[in-house]
Amino acid sequence: GENVEQHPSTLSVQEGDSAVIKCTYSDSASNYFPWYKQELGKRPQLIIDIRSNVGEKKDQRIAVTLNKTAKHFSLHITETQPEDSAVYFCAASKGGNDMRFGAGTRLTVKP
């Protein structure tokens, strides 16, 4: 089955700096790659997603890139703010809703 690896497990940046989180997946049939943000005690919330027919997608300070050949995708957050502090999860699926998630990255943005 699909295996998603996520790095780093923790990331600490200074406010205003950029943060990059990377994921790799194993199943070449996966075609949908969402990113979720989970604040302490809350539900995971979708922040951005990308499909396999697209190489990059941006939404304000957040961008995701996908390299299908290498089977990896990355989340980029620019101009980080303290409210970006949370756990971020990447996931991969083959179009159904059986998402396979990475282990998560705890991002801390220091003011």
Please say which residue, 60 or 97, places its beta carbon nearer to other proteins. 97
Binding mask 78-107 for other proteins (x = CB under 8 A): -----------x-x-x-xxxxxxxxxx---
Site for other proteins in 53-82 (CB under 8 A): none
Query: Could you give the 3-state DSSP secondary structure of residue 60?
Result: coil
The residues, any chain, with a CB within 8 Å of residue 51's CB and separated by 6 or more, are: 31, 32, 33
Please say which residue, 32 or 78, places its beta carbon nearer to other proteins. 32
Site for other proteins in 26-45 (CB under 8 A): 32, 34, 36, 42-45
Q: What whole-number distance in Å separates Cα of residue 55 and Cα of residue 10?
A: 26
Please say which residue, 74 or 104, places its beta carbon nearer to other proteins. 104
Cα end-to-end span (Å), the chain: 41
CA 13 to chain centre: 16
